[in-house]
Amino acid sequence: MLGMYAVWFTWSIFEIDPILGSPLAFIIIFFVGYVIQKFFIHHIMKAPAAAQIFLTVGLMVVLENMALMVFGSDFRSVAVTYQTESIHLGEIFISKSYLYAFLAALVITGLLWTLLATSWIGRAIRAVAQDAMMAELVGVNATTTYNIAFGLGVGLTAFGGAVILPYISVSPTIGSHFSVLMFTVVVLGGLGSVAGALAGGIVVGVIQSLSSLVFPIHLQNLILFIIFIAVLVVRPNGLLKEG
Amino acid sequence: MLKIENLSGGYSEIDILHGVAISIEPGETVTIIGANTAGKTSILRAISGVLPRVVGMIVLDGQAITHKPAHEIPALGIGHVPEGRHVFPRMTVEDNLFMGAYSARRKAKISSALEGVYKLFPRLLERRKQMAGSLSGGEQQMVAIGRALMCNPKLLLLDEPSLGLAPIVVDEVHEAILAINASGVSVLLVEQNASLALSVASRGYVLEDGRVVLQDTAEALRTNPEVRRAYLGI
Ligand SMILES: Nc1ncnc2c1ncn2[C@@H]1O[C@H](COP(=O)(O)OP(=O)(O)O)[C@@H](O)[C@H]1O
Ligand SMILES: [Mg+2]
């Protein structure tokens, strides 16, 4: 939601294309996330799950209502030239705005992967996730690393929101449209697995598109959740995670 | 080089350690022996800054490090090989070693440190692209020791490096400790296996319920009737 508003503003004021503006959304929201982790979430890392849910849901309610106060409840969208255009590959039509969003997602995934695999901060993030005390023993400031990791996480969400703005309009509660799907993607792939999330995302997308060929479009999510539940019965830890 | 005085503390309000005093001279290998739960691991944790509550004095080369945050310790030249090895399981051997150099990441010395580790443990060079979690216990111990050496330490803390290893691997690890010490690194070795520890170290401390009850040269401890009865099983 914040990422979408960020690029909506850079589009409406500076006429920057949302996809080109998306790195800016990433950077701004990275710092927002860093600060939220540092001043709020850091204090409840060891607290019971209920406290963590209260805080994070509370933060969401605060942010949504602040957005409501500032921006109102209007749906806002951008107008870009390629919005209604599509590419024809034989019988297949690919909408340009979906294609650009997909390509942008591929690029950021590649960048994230490279960052995690080869940089010092990437290694530190993996080390803290695997064994926080040991990471401290080799000189990693685990607290700062958590801040950066959380900033990256929400920055990526903002980036994702930004690149879909050409075909989705933004409102203060837009986030909740995606949160259920997002949980499905993550749980389907396997909680805590990056490759799993990627696989889950592709599987969810393909199921949604294919089911709408066969069934009425309003049954799209019904089909998805039936398959989701069936997968969890067979593989309770998700597609790519061993028990 | 390291001087611990009147060290107390623990994981909660209850003291696990009670006024421990230990010192290590440059180039020395010193051991702390003691039964399970005596507090050996807690002493090493206090030095490295991961014991939750610490009272007393820990001085490294004249600088008090008692309440320094854990992540600032390796840059001062202390490498820690924790009990249970604690390799990063879903990272390659080489990434594990790189993590050991995290505190020195802006310096150029990393590649020579890496070379040194591979020379000491050629097996790690063969397995450098393998996930550390998939290695045998002995190989994981080598990763843990190699990782600690990557910060070019002057003092190496070793917590039960022989625990759970086959005898032949234990010998290998001990060879490595001797080689590390011979290269000028001071070693503080903690072991339940007292005969092993006393064969490597030049001096030793005997810890009981968080108190140092005896300290002497390794030679004298090996022949001390009390130590022989309680820790060497003779
Ligand atoms: N993480 C911990 N939290 C609480 N108590 C602990 C923890 N680790 C160890 N202890 C307690 O501290 C005491 C000393 O343990 P430790 O230092 O591990 O001894 P040793 O290494 O000599 O076996 C034991 O009584 C143990 O139960
Ligand atoms: Mg121990």
pLDDT digits (tens, 9 = 90+) for A207-216: 888 888 888 8
Contacts of A122 in chain B (CB under 8 A): none
Q: What is the mean pLDDT of residues B10-36?
A: 96
pLDDT score for A193: 77
Q: Which is more confident, B89 or A196?
A: B89
CA-CA distance, B134 to B146, in Å (whole number)?
17
Burial class (CB in 10 A: 0-12, 13-18, 19+), B72: middle
pLDDT score for B157: 98
Q: Is residue A241 pLDDT above 80, yes or no? A: no
ipTM for the complex shown: 0.94
CA-CA distance, B131 to B144, in Å (whole number)?
13
pLDDT score for B43: 98
Tokens of A142: 């685990």
Cβ pairs A/B, distance under 8 A: 66
Amino acid at position A220, single letter: Q
User: What is the number of other CB atoms lying within 10 angstroms of the CB of residue B119?
Assistant: 11
Q: Which is more confident, A74 or B155?
A: B155
Q: At A94, is the pLDDT very low, low, confident or very high (cuts 50, 70, 90)?
A: confident
Closest ligand 1 atom number to CA of residue B190: 21
Q: Is residue B218 pLDDT above 70, yes or no? A: yes
- Percent of chain B's residues with pLDDT above 90: 89
Q: What is the mean pLDDT of residues A29-57?
A: 89
For a substitution probing ligand 1, which of B33, B37, B231 has the most ligand atoms within 8 Å of its CB?
A: B37
Domain count, chain B: 1
Q: Tell me if A140 and B105 make a contact (CB, 8 A cut-off).
A: no
Tokens of B23: 């010192």
CA-CA distance, B11 to B181, in Å (whole number)?
31
Is B91 within 8 Å of chain A by CB?
Answer: yes
Is A108 within 8 Å of chain B by CB?
Answer: no
pLDDT score for A46: 84
- Is B42 touching ligand 1 by the criterion CB < 6 Å? yes
Q: Which domain holds residue B54?
A: 2-231
Is A96 within 8 Å of A34 (Cβ atoms)? no
Q: Which helix (H) or strand (E) holds A134?
A: helix A132-137
Is A138 within 8 Å of chain B by CB?
Answer: yes
pLDDT score for A243: 56
- Is B82 touching ligand 1 by the criterion CB < 6 Å? no
Nearest to A138 among B49, B90, B100 (CB): B100
Q: At A131, is the pLDDT very low, low, confident or very high (cuts 50, 70, 90)?
A: very high
Q: What's the gap between Cα B140 and its chain centre?
A: 15
CA-CA distance, B188 to B77, in Å (whole number)?
13
CA-CA distance, A132 to A150, in Å (whole number)?
15
How many residues in total does chain B contain?
234
The domain that contains B179 carries what CATH number?
3.40.50.300
| Residues facing B80 on adjacent strands | B157
pLDDT score for A242: 67
pLDDT score for A70: 87
Average pLDDT value over all residues in chain A = 88
The separation between the first and the last C-alpha atoms of chain B, rounded to the nearest angstrom, is 34
CA-CA distance, B155 to B187, in Å (whole number)?
6
Q: Tell me if B88 and A139 make a contact (CB, 8 A cut-off).
A: no
Average pLDDT value over all residues in chain B = 95
Q: Tell me if A139 and B89 make a contact (CB, 8 A cut-off).
A: no
* Nearest residue in chain B measured CA to CA from A121: B102
pLDDT digits (tens, 9 = 90+) for B163-187: 989 999 999 999 999 999 999 999 9
* Nearest residue in chain B measured CA to CA from A127: B88
pLDDT score for B234: 67
Is B93 within 8 Å of B127 (Cβ atoms)? yes
Residues in contact with A207: Cβ distance below 8 Å, sequence separation at least 6, in sequence order: A223, A224, A227
CA angle B21, B49, B43 (to 5 degrees): 35
CA angle B147, B2, B190 (to 5 degrees): 55
CA B197 to ligand 2 centroid distance, Å = 14
Task: Give the residue from B188, B196, B195 showing the smallest Cα distance to B224.
Answer: B195
Is B106 within 8 Å of chain A by CB?
Answer: no
Q: What is the mean pLDDT of residues A225-232?
A: 89
CA-CA distance, A171 to B65, in Å (whole number)?
53
Q: Is residue B8 pLDDT above 90, yes or no? A: yes
Nearest to B88 among A120, A131, A141 (CB): A131
Highest mean pLDDT, choosing among A10-24, A208-222, B23-37: B23-37
Is B57 within 8 Å of B66 (Cβ atoms)? yes
pLDDT digits (tens, 9 = 90+) for B42-91: 999 999 999 999 999 999 999 999 999 999 999 999 999 999 999 999 99
Is B15 within 8 Å of chain A by CB?
Answer: no
Q: Which helix (H) or strand (E) holds B29?
A: strand B29-34
What global pTM score does this model have? 0.89
Residues in contact with A115: Cβ distance below 8 Å, sequence separation at least 6, in sequence order: A121, A122
B34 φ/ψ sector (left φ>0, alpha ψ -120 to 50, else beta): left
Task: Give the residue from A17, A210, A204 showing the smallest Cα distance to A96.
Answer: A17
pLDDT score for B214: 96
H-only helix segments in chain B = 40-48, 93-100, 110-120, 122-126, 137-149, 167-182, 194-200, 218-223, 225-230
Closest ligand 1 atom number to CA of residue B38: 22
Is B95 within 8 Å of chain A by CB?
Answer: yes
CA-CA distance, B121 to B149, in Å (whole number)?
12
